[in-house]
Amino acid sequence: MSRIFITGSSQGIGAECARQLIAADHEVVLHARDAHRAQAATAANPGAVAVLTADLASLTQTRALASAASEHGPYDAIIHNAGMGATTQRELTEDGLERIFQVNVASAYVLTALLPVAPRMVFLTSGLEADGTWTPEDLDWATRAWDGRQAYADSKLHDSMLAFHLAGLHPESAVNVVDPGWIRTELGGPDAWDEVDQGADTQVWLAVSDEPTAQDTGRYLKRRAPLSPNPIAREADARAELISRLERATGIALQ
Ligand SMILES: NC(=O)c1ccc[n+]([C@@H]2O[C@H](COP(=O)([O-])OP(=O)(O)OC[C@H]3O[C@@H](n4cnc5c(N)ncnc54)[C@H](OP(=O)(O)O)[C@@H]3O)[C@@H](O)[C@H]2O)c1
């Protein structure tokens, strides 16, 4: 039996990962944005060990989530699943960061820095990662004309970069990034091609399977198969710069 922490598991792909893992007798710690969303998380997965709450648009709450999650660990796997889609306007959080960058990238960075690295680490990217641009001097869109779709694509490129950086730092762990496909969820929308169980399968396999190929590291996977990521994600200098900028933006260092 494994213990797995899944961010953004009140609904969608995260809740489905939890459902599949609990059905296979694993212990799952859920995460929801607030007490109201925690009720949805519990309703979807009453067999979970615990539901932790934090708005990932807040550094203070994300730090507190790391502490709470530590108390329920150690984990055999962590799935950094939480994410938000494109917004029509550039929005700043209480920390003064652009919201998509903070929720999709900085929060995963903070949790990664503050929690022990698990033997298996899974980050969620997207097929739109291929369209991501590397604009280190303007990660939170202070100078560019706002483009919400591009901000989302960039954030998913940053998630791949974060995962591959961590894979380099921790060769003892299997650290991978997953494109779940276009999945019918709130984020994916009603026209998406695939059902949520397909969108969860690869992350669940990476989290608990004994198959040797589930335990390789540093890969971009879709439907359990390795694909080529955006070439920027393979550039060590770019990854190091992203980590350095995340460290400055959050005040937290990645060991
Ligand atoms: N669906 C797709 O087609 C697709 C494709 C590629 C990649 N992905 C990725 O897959 C992951 C899961 O997406 P999904 O389709 O399952 O989306 P979803 O149904 O909208 O679920 C997103 C989850 O993230 C949580 N979340 C969002 N903002 C948050 C915040 N500020 N604080 C705390 N939690 C927050 C949500 O909590 P609330 O319930 O409180 O909002 C929810 O649990 C994301 O990383 C997404 O980028 C999805």
C-alpha distances in angstroms, 132 versus 32, 109, 148, 231? 27, 18, 12, 10
Does 71 fall in a domain? yes
The answer to whether 155 and 124 have CB atoms below 8 angstroms apart is: no
Tell me if 81 is assigned to some domain.
yes
Instruction: Give the residue whose CA is nearest to atom 7 of ligand 1.
Output: 126
Kindly report the CA angle at 54 between 53 and 55, in degrees rounded to 5?
A: 135
Q: Whose CA is nearest to atom 36 of ligand 1?
A: 8
CA of 232 to the centre of ligand 1 (A): 24
Q: Which residues have any ligand 1 atom within 6 Å of their CB?
A: 8-14, 32-33, 37, 55-57, 81-84, 103, 124, 126, 180, 182-183, 185-188, 192
For the stretch 13-37, pLDDT in tens is 999 999 999 999 999 999 999 999 9
**Sign, Cα dihedral of 44, 41, 6, 242:** positive
Nearest to 5 by CA among 63, 107, 53, 74: 74
Span 62-87, pLDDT tens digits: 999 999 999 999 999 999 999 999 99
Residue 3's nearest CA partner among 80, 71, 77, 70 is: 77
Ligand 1 centre from 85 Cα, in Å?
Answer: 8
Number of domains in the chain: 1
Band (pLDDT 50/70/90 cuts) for residue 112 is very high
Q: From CA 157, how far away is CA 220, in angstroms rounded?
A: 11
Between β-strands 219-222 and 225-227, what pairing exists: parallel, antiparallel or unpaired? Answer: antiparallel
| Nearest atom, ligand 1, residue 82 CA | 24
Interstrand relation of 120-124 and 174-178 (parallel, antiparallel or unpaired): parallel
From 75, 152, 220, 222, the catalytic residue: 152
For the CA of 156, the closest atom of ligand 1 is 47
pLDDT > 70 in the chain, percent? 100
Quick check: is 226 in a domain?
yes
Nearest atom in ligand 1 to 8's CA? 43
In this structure, what are the phi and psi dihedrals at residue 199, rounded to the nearest 5 degrees? -70, -15
Q: Is residue 166 part of a domain?
A: yes
Ligand 1 centroid distance, CA of 243 (Å): 23
d(CA 82, CA 61): 14
| In-domain check, residue 59 | yes
86-105 mean pLDDT: 98
- Confirm whether 75 is a catalytic residue: no
Q: How far is CA 132 from the centre of its chain?
A: 16
pLDDT tens, position by position, 187-207:
999 999 999 999 999 999 999
pLDDT at 255 over 90: no
Which atom of ligand 1 is least distant from the CA of 127? 6
| Chain segment 116-139, per-residue pLDDT in tens | 999 999 999 999 999 999 999 999
Set 109, 156, 220, 222: catalytic member: 156
Please state the rounded mean pLDDT for residues 141-153.
Answer: 97
- Give pTM, 2 decimals: 0.99
150: domain CATH number? Answer: 3.40.50.720
Q: Which domain holds residue 223?
A: 3-250
Helix (H, G, I), strand (E, B) or coil at 59: helix
Is 90 exceeded by the pLDDT of residue 228? Answer: yes
Say what the pLDDT of residue 114 is: 98
Question: What average pLDDT is seen over the chain?
Answer: 98
CA separation for the pair 10, 24 (Å, rounded):
19
Give me ligand 1 centre to Cα 17, in Å. Answer: 12
Is the pLDDT at 180 greater than 90? The verdict is yes
Residue 171 domain flag = yes
Task: Respond yes or no: is residue 152 known to be catalytic.
Answer: yes
55, 185, 227: residue to mutate for ligand 1 pocket, most atoms within 8 A of CB: 185
56 — pLDDT class (breaks 50, 70, 90):
very high
- Domain assignment present for residue 255? The answer is no
- Residue ranges in the chain assigned as alpha helix (H): 12-23, 35-44, 59-71, 99-101, 107-114, 148-169, 196-208, 236-250
Q: Residue 161: what residue type? A: M
